[in-house]
Structure 1
Amino acid sequence: MSAVGANSSGQLHQVYCRLLERYGPQNWWPADTEFEVMVGAILTQNTAWRNVELAIRNLKQADLLAAERILACPDGELAQLLRPAGYFNIKASRLKNLCRFLDRVSCRQLEAMPTAELREQFLSVKGVGPETADDILLYAFRRPVFVIDAYTRRIFSRLGLVSGAESYEQLRARFEKELAPSDAVYGEYHALIIQHAKVACRVRPECDGCTLAIQCEYLNK
């Protein structure tokens, strides 16, 4: 085994424990319904969560947080409601694509699907990529699928546990292989990664007092 990833199974678990001890449970994904999780997964593409919250608040105030109501809403009106999330015309189109999909398949049918098939179904929706699909599977359907995002690449490449050049699917398979399958742990871990990237492991890292400093290859070079 190469230096990258050596004994990574134990180290991945150590990272999770340190982050959980430092930040505590994150209670993520912040949503009232499974459909709201799916909407948030579309809207969070390329934007901060606070902007997603503003857009979802607009949908709630307009009484549009339901697939059939979103589909009935004129494109321009929907785009304006989603403006806080950025790329609002594109996201309005993607959100309607998701709603058309959900209009064709019942929740009961989706819930009955094996995880691999369910993932393929969501990936077939135009505008839904691997990260978005995995957000939906993990937080809306409680499937043990590990979500990879830019924060994951940043933190774990600095720790020296990944090279950073792996594909999305390679990294997802790596985490799922080396951690016990658990939607609760995967969901908490992803949320903790996001929190740590905001607080400490930024583009310009704030290394003083970092809870992962003892494990960080970037800091200890």
Structure 2
Amino acid sequence: MDETLSLIDERVLRGQFTQHVVVNVAKIVNMRSDTQLADSVRDCDIINIDGMGVVWAGRLLGRDIPERVAGVDLFEKLIALAATRGFPVYFLGGTDDVVKRTAAVLVTRHPELKIAGTHHGYFWSDEKSVVDQIRTCGAKLLFVAISSPKKEIFINRWQRELGVDFVMGVGGTFDVMAGVVQRAPKWMQNWGMEWLFRVIQEPRRMWRRYLVTNGKFALMLIKERLSMKSASSS
């Protein structure tokens, strides 16, 4: 986390554009069939793992993964950094009420935080006007709270026209900040069970998504392990 935060700070201070993304089990699975999503993720300058399932799978496959970097935790640290540094921020996504409540909550926590603008996430008939608004508002950091794969594809499509130094997709973070949904308890986060907490909160919308993606990811992991064993024994 500290390494990621420091790197983002350095790049923003240099005015070096940075596109950031976090990956989890669902995103990795969906990247295999969605080429636009896959290309958008690969084009990012910083990729963090948000999901203990991916951390454990990577370690099982012999990858050196020091820790999980949860998107919502990184978001909160970046907001604190922006307030300290005087970096203006822009919030894009969620309903109009949620994005405005998110801004209000964060300004209450960080009175020195500069909000360059906000916009809800339902703008797909006129993306260009939203991009123009972001580019001319003076924001340095842009946070996009839209579901995957829309946010990744949107960010990648317009990255050079956004006029910001840093852009990050934050999924349902605004809902958490605004108090619309609760985040899983710390013990569930540590045990990789945040997905279960989300299913409990929104069973109709989430159960099928996690059942399918978790199952596919498990099969991918098994195949990779078998492939590694076969290669090492030949």
TM superposition score normalised by structure 2: 0.25
Q: Determine which structure has the larger strand proportion and give its number.
A: 2
Higher relative contact order (CA 8 A, sep 6+): 1
TM superposition score normalised by structure 1: 0.26
